Amino acid sequence: MKKLPLMLALAALCATPLAMAKTLETVASFTVLADIVKQVGGEHVEVKSLVGPNGDPHSFEPTPQDSQALAKADVVFVSGLGLEGWMDRLISASEYKGHVVVASAGITTRTMEEEGKTVTDPHAWNSMKNGEIYASNVMNALIAADPQDANDFRQRGAAYIARLQKLDEWAADQFAAIPAAKRKVLTSHDAFGYFGQRYGVTFMSPVGFSTESEANAADVAGLITQLKKEHIHSYFIENQTDPRLVQQIASATGARPGGELYPEALTEKGGAADSLEAAFRHNVTAMLASMK
pLDDT in tens, 19-55: 456 799 999 999 999 999 999 999 999 999 999 999 9
* Residue where a domain terminates, one of 169, 190, 205: 169
Identify whether 282 is part of a domain: yes
- Same-domain status, 165 and 182: no
> Could you read off the pLDDT of 61-110 as tens digits, one per residue?
999 999 999 999 999 999 999 999 999 999 999 999 999 999 999 999 99
Identify whether 40 is part of a domain: yes
Query: Distance between CA 57 and CA 48 in Å, rounded?
Result: 14
- Same-domain status, 36 and 130: yes
Query: Distance between CA 268 and CA 279 in Å, rounded?
Result: 12
**What is the number of domains present in the chain?**
2
Query: Distance between CA 240 and CA 265 in Å, rounded?
Result: 7
**Which CATH number does the domain housing residue 108 bear?**
3.40.50.1980
Per the CB < 8 A criterion, the answer to whether 265 and 57 are in contact is: yes
Identify whether 16 is part of a domain: no
Q: Which residues contact 2 (CB under 8 A, 6 or more apart)?
A: none
Contacts for 150-159 with beta carbons within 8 Å, 24 or more apart? 152/42, 152/44, 153/40, 153/41, 153/44, 156/39, 156/40, 156/41, 156/42, 157/40
Q: What b/e string do you get for 4-17 counting C-beta neighbours within 10 Å, with b at 16 or more?
A: eeeeeeeeeeeeee
- Same-domain status, 88 and 33: yes
Ranges of beta strands (E only) in the chain are: 24-28, 45-49, 75-78, 99-102, 111-114, 117-120, 184-186, 202-204, 234-238, 256-261
Which of 118-132, 150-164, 180-194 bottoms out in mean pLDDT, i.e. has the lowest?
A: 180-194
* Residue where a domain terminates, one of 146, 169, 192: 169
Is the overall model pTM greater than 0.75, yes or no? yes
Identify whether 4 is part of a domain: no
Q: Which residues contact 127 (CB under 8 A, 6 or more apart)?
A: 168, 194, 195, 197, 198, 199
Identify whether 61 is part of a domain: yes
- Same-domain status, 165 and 25: yes
- Same-domain status, 242 and 135: no
- Same-domain status, 199 and 128: no
Query: Distance between CA 277 and CA 262 in Å, rounded?
Result: 11
Identify whether 15 is part of a domain: no
113: β partners: 118
pLDDT beyond 90 at 204: no
- Same-domain status, 184 and 268: yes
Compute CA 189 distance to the chain's CA centroid, rounded to the nearest angstrom: 15
* Residue where a domain terminates, one of 124, 146, 169: 169
Range 257-282 average pLDDT: 93
Range of the domain at 139: 21-169
Identify whether 14 is part of a domain: no
